[in-house]
Amino acid sequence: MKLRSKILLALWVLLPLVTAGYFLEKRYGKPSPEEYQERAAERVRELSASKELQNGDLIFHTSRSAQSQAIQVATKSKYSHCGIVYQEGGNYFVYEAVQPVSTTPLAKWIARGEGGHFVVKRLKKADEVLTPSVLAKMKQEGQKLAGKDYDLTFEWSDDKIYCSELIWKVYQRAAGIEIGKLEKLKDFDLSAKPVQAKMRERYGRNIPYEENVISPASMFASDLLVTVVEK
């Protein structure tokens, strides 16, 4: 068969597939914000029915924020945001460092993540360690940071707070437990273009390479935790 005939045959076969794919994407593309919220609400109902969540659990997802890609690349992690799960009055919430540090309904938190995917991790022997008094103290420590602005420059102070820093400090101050390894800013992969762009945006030329940082990746990989839910 001549080359021209082969090309025409290939186009004849592929064109309907490409066209079908286009219309399927148009019709069944990414879910709308409302659909994300509905799916998240359904997942929360399932979690509530199965009683899979406990106070003090850590929850991770891939944020759709502007800085998420830079965090993922620099820390070599799929997950870029995290918070602490609490139950109040039969409803689940996530205490998190956003703008500002605040409490978010779990369904809303899940819907904000990429694809609605999330992972819940729990402290090993949590039933023994996270006693009612420890959990109460965790809430007290967390409340001291409520309303703080989100820390865009990841400084190790309480003036402003970022997501994994909030969790680390709450657990360390209330339970004496350090989840994840503290690193220096210079320890991360700062070579990629998305990371360098964010560094220039946040620091200019004064990059604090020696600043202590706790990343979502380090907390996620901690051997103090076990995975209890992955959706």
159-207, pLDDT tens digit by residue? 999 999 999 999 999 999 999 999 999 999 889 888 999 889 999 989 9
Q: How confident is the model at residue 1 (pLDDT cuts 50, 70, 90)?
A: low
Contact present, 124 and 226 (Cβ < 8 Å): yes
Closest by CA to 80, choosing from 95, 60, 97, is 60
Q: How confident is the model at residue 21 (pLDDT cuts 50, 70, 90)?
A: very low
* End-to-end Cα separation, the chain, in angstroms: 51
E-strand stretches of 1-124: 58-61, 81-88, 91-97, 101-105, 119-123
CA distances from residue 43 to 28, 59, 113, 115, 167 in whole angstroms, order as listed: 21, 14, 13, 13, 23
Render pLDDT for 80-94 as a digit per residue (tens, 0 to 9). Answer: 999 999 999 889 999
* pLDDT for 6 beyond 90: no
The answer to which of 17-26, 62-71, 187-196 has the lowest mean pLDDT is 17-26
Render pLDDT for 101-146 as a digit per residue (tens, 0 to 9). Answer: 999 999 999 999 999 999 999 999 999 999 999 999 999 999 999 9
CA distances from residue 146 to 56, 142, 149, 162, 178 in whole angstroms, order as listed: 16, 7, 9, 12, 20
Axis-axis angle for helices 193-203, 68-75 (nearest 10): 120
Instruction: Tell which wins on pLDDT, 12 or 173.
Output: 173
Contact present, 142 and 60 (Cβ < 8 Å): no
Question: Which pair of tokens denotes residue 199?
Answer: 């560094």
Is the previous residue joined to 33 through a cis bond, with omega within 30 degrees of 0?
no
